[in-house]
Amino acid sequence: MEEINPISTGFFTSGSNIWNNDYGSLPYEGYNMMEMASMRVLTPPWRGLVVSMAMDCLDCQYLQAVIEEGDPRYVAMILSEIKDYLHQLMKDQFGNYLIQKIFEAKKGITNIQIDSIIYLIIYDTHKLRDVCKNNHGTRVMQIMLENMKCPVTKYAVLYMMKPIIDELMKNINGGYVIVQCVKVFPPTLKKVILDELAKYCVEIATHKIGCSVLQTCLKDSEILAMGLITSIISNAMLLAEDCYGNHVVQFVIKMKFPLVNERMIAELCGKFVRLSMNKHASNVVEDLMRCSNQDDVNAIVEELIRSTDFLNVIQDPYGNYVAQRALKCTKGYLRRKLSFTIRSYRIELQNHPHGKIVLDNAKSSKR
């Protein structure tokens, strides 16, 4: 798709207007049509008062009823009055419902008018960011995204949101907007978002809010998110030891893509002893043993057994859980070898608060 450049009069590509394909021409022309239509209808008592009415509870409900009734003349009149106050209304406790109603309207409003409103919302990145992060604005944005029809408009929205994706991902309200984009955008645009997230993978995954939003995006994408998953694997060591990042790594592991888990284990190879004794990373090691194929599980356990620090792992407040998980996830010869190795430390473990639990499990799993 050709590069789109936002300029003061709209979006253009190769000298032609992107809004000019079954959805009309420039958004401002749509507003000229609205104003001309409004001149031909008997002036209602609320003419000139729409913005202030929209910010009043009862008056806003009245305006919503006008939109729902669908008389194109009155709808055009309302749109012409709010067009310069969209961001303000979207963040207002009552006004946001009017903008939502406009996007949900089934009659009385054209695709040209809807695209015109969308353009006015997205043209200023700073205002767009503030709306997305607002408690009321986020809901309007989600409704807007859900009801967009024009493919080119979707691309324009993505183009304007791309520079602020990383910031929105770390905000509870902004995160909802990005998740909605991932849900409703076609695969080509969805992949653009996911690839952008991959660039800021560590920054987002180690953030209290970002780690949760990132998991939701992964859940709604799977195969399309391979670029993002690759970035997570490349940073697996750092993320596994982070209080938030470990949850993202665990989520990827639990997706149970064999090749992904195999690559994850290869990335962490040689570090499983250290990871096992880390409060956060020990959960990652357990999940790898729980969700990987047997050969990969065996590779982890062999690394632990061979280590001169294996006794420390067994006695560690977190490592002992890894040792217990290893006893559950190994089979045959390797389980017997693991059990024997643990029992060889009987003297050191039998009175240890953590070690004695592992020792008891090793005795019960003896073959």
Query: pLDDT tens across 38-49, in order?
Result: 455 568 888 889
Q: pLDDT, tens digit, for every residue of 132-187?
A: 999 999 999 999 999 999 999 999 999 999 999 999 999 999 999 999 999 999 99
Residue range of the domain that includes 61: 1-165
Query: What pLDDT does residue 19 have?
Result: 38
Query: What pLDDT does residue 28 have?
Result: 47
Does any domain span residue 242?
Answer: no
* DSSP 8-state secondary structure symbol assigned to residue 367: -
State the pTM of this model. 0.84
DSSP assignment of 137-204 equals: HHHHHHHHHHH---HHHHHHHHHHHGGGHHHHHTSHHHHHHHHHHHHHS-HHHHHHHHHHHHHTHHHH
Does any domain span residue 286?
Answer: no
Q: Which residues of the chain have pLDDT under 70?
A: 1-42, 365-367
Domain tally, the chain: 1
Does any domain span residue 212?
Answer: no
Query: What pLDDT does residue 44 have?
Result: 82
The CA distances from residue 100 to 96, 143, 304, 322, 345, in Å, are 6, 6, 57, 50, 67
CATH number at residue 127: 1.25.10.10
Rounded Cα gap, residues 295 and 260, in angstroms: 14
Does any domain span residue 308?
Answer: no
Does any domain span residue 120?
Answer: yes
Does any domain span residue 1?
Answer: yes
Does any domain span residue 19?
Answer: yes
Query: What pLDDT does residue 36 have?
Result: 55
Q: pLDDT, tens digit, for every residue of 246-287?
A: 999 999 999 999 999 999 999 999 999 999 999 999 999 999
* DSSP 8-state secondary structure symbol assigned to residue 42: P
Helices 332-343, 294-306: crossing angle, 10 deg rounding: 20
Nearest to 362 by CA among 352, 348, 346: 346
Rounded Cα gap, residues 104 and 81, in angstroms: 19
Does any domain span residue 89?
Answer: yes
Query: What pLDDT does residue 15 have?
Result: 35
Question: Is the torsion defined by CA of 145, 150, 151, 152 positive or negative?
Answer: negative
Rounded Cα gap, residues 84 and 346, in angstroms: 77
